[in-house]
Structure 1
């Protein structure tokens, strides 16, 4: 049965993340590209009995012809009838115009990504984004440290400096911060090794939740250790796409209903396993 009657608003990212932050735990944030992704994330979270964040990236919006509202409102409608808390997050936004569309499309939060800019420009742009977001009642995440694998710009060897992190959070007023600690976007093998000592120092340096991007490439044991050290929001995207394509290739019936059904089920299973990992279970081969 739904947790509340249909028609309630999607849960607030601030509430979902703050609850995990207070409890010393973590919440999974799963990338949504299609309606099947969104259905899989909600179904997988319900099976795990865990809250979840559905996040739609700027790249996903481009995939939909730069139309944000259809996929956002469809995902929000799923969140409204879910049996667990489901929040809606707009991820890796570099376009200010897209940022300003978030408030009208059901999002509770935005990750504004100015990390490719020189540091002073990142600070100025992120401060302005945070001020706008807060005026709209939105929670804002930012990035510092150029997390590896992003469009060939960010080096996997980059690491975030705790002192710079403290100054950045103070100067910008952000609500959460993605930091570079050894993970990399778009990894297809689970071989990343994180700097857990750095995570602990970063967690002590700032009064906001830390976010781990590129979590698909991080083994289970590393993820659990990262959460114990202070990571709170754990972003997972590539794992869902790998499950989707693997399931479609493995089905004997390539017609859309059958292929999409098995793909959605495979993604839901991946979500359930990932969320159980973050709560102490297991998800892959780590």
Structure 2
């Protein structure tokens, strides 16, 4: 089917008090696994390509983007394409020509006033070209802190998104969605994160656009369900897929040390990722408390 629009998927999720899952993809196997897992769950999904993934692919955006578009067009469920955690204005300007309908512009590392100014300029540019745009306020754990320093702990003073600042930030930038810092951490390999649901409720009441949860791989199922019930409309997942793929490949190669055909172990990794996609989508599809 035609490539879906991220904004429409997120708006529908927000209007039905549910969430659409956005999975970060790095390889063709990631793309195929996300689509297969979403088809098995019978749910729409967002394929996300991060700036770091583009750097991994020698700085070339089109090969992975075109593969994602082709996979989306052959999918049995709606699939959107989103460019994630963009800090480079040069990369931002390549977005429309690569098939992306949306972008997450990440200036959260900057002081508030600079974040606001950079995001306002990015939003103006994106909207003029029909792009839906997400931004971030606060500091989600696991990323470099302001000024590029050491990552700020998700529970450190000042890390969480302030509702009053969030309301003003959205009004002054014109963004379409806001990623908020409520206790999740990027790149977690254990599912032990604890979210601040009271803060999330205050943010949902203060901010008139859909809210996004980054760093969701480390959030237990019950916390995710509660976050969606509390106002999260887009849930980002990356590390959980990488862990599933790596674990499956390690197990296969340990059992088959003679294996050299990459299709043998990549197919095992792809199947493991697809199962994880289906599992997560089913978790987020459960009624909230």
TM class, shorter-length: over 0.9
The equivalent of 1:150 in structure 2 is 143
The secondary structure found in structure 1 opposite 2:85 is: strand
Classify the secondary structure of the residue corresponding to 2:49.
Answer: strand
Report the alpha carbon displacement of residue 174 of structure 1 after superposing the two structures with TM. 0.3
1:264 counterpart = 2:270: yes
Which residue in 2 is equivalent to 1:104? Answer: 97
* In 2: Cα distance, 1:250 partner to 1:19 partner: 39
Q: Give the one of 5, 24, 27 matched to 1:12.
A: 5
C-alpha deviations, 1:47-99, integer Å up to 9, x for none? Answer: 00011000000000000000001100110110111111100000000000000
C-alpha distance in structure 1 between counterparts of 2:205 and 2:75, whole Å: 34
Correspondence 1:54-93 to 2 at 5 A:
54-93=47-86
State the 1:255 CA deviation.
2.7
Q: How many residues of Structure 1 are paired with residues of Structure 2 in the alignment?
A: 274
User: What stretches of structure 1 of length at least 5 have no aligned partner?
Assistant: 282-286
Q: Is the 8 A contact 1:130 1:140 kept in 2?
A: yes
1:30 maps onto 2:31 in alignment: no
Quote how far apart the aligned CAs of 1:23 are: 0.7
Matched, 1:119 2:112: yes
In the other structure, the counterpart of 2:41 is 48
In 2, Cα distance between equivalents of 1:81 and 1:208: 31
Counterpart of 1:159?
A: 160
2:256 is aligned with 1:255: no
Other-structure match for 1:202: 203
2:286 aligns with 280
Partner residue, 2:147: none
Query: What is the CA RMSD across the aligned residues, in angstroms?
Result: 1.0
Q: 1:137 aligns with which of 110, 125, 130?
A: 130
Q: CA deviation at 1:272?
A: 0.4
Q: Does 1:211 align with 2:217?
A: no
Deviation, 1:254, is 4.9
Aligned to 1:284: none
Q: Deviations over 1:101-132 (max 9, x none)?
A: 00001101000000001110000000000000
Partners of 1:249 and 1:148 lie apart in 2 by: 28
Deviation at 1:156, TM superposition (A): 1.4
Q: TM-score under structure 2 normalisation?
A: 0.93
CA deviations 1:228-283 (Å, max 9, x no partner) are 000110000000000111011011235301010000000000000000000018xx
The 8 Å contact of residues 116 and 153 in structure 1, kept in 2 or not, is answered as no
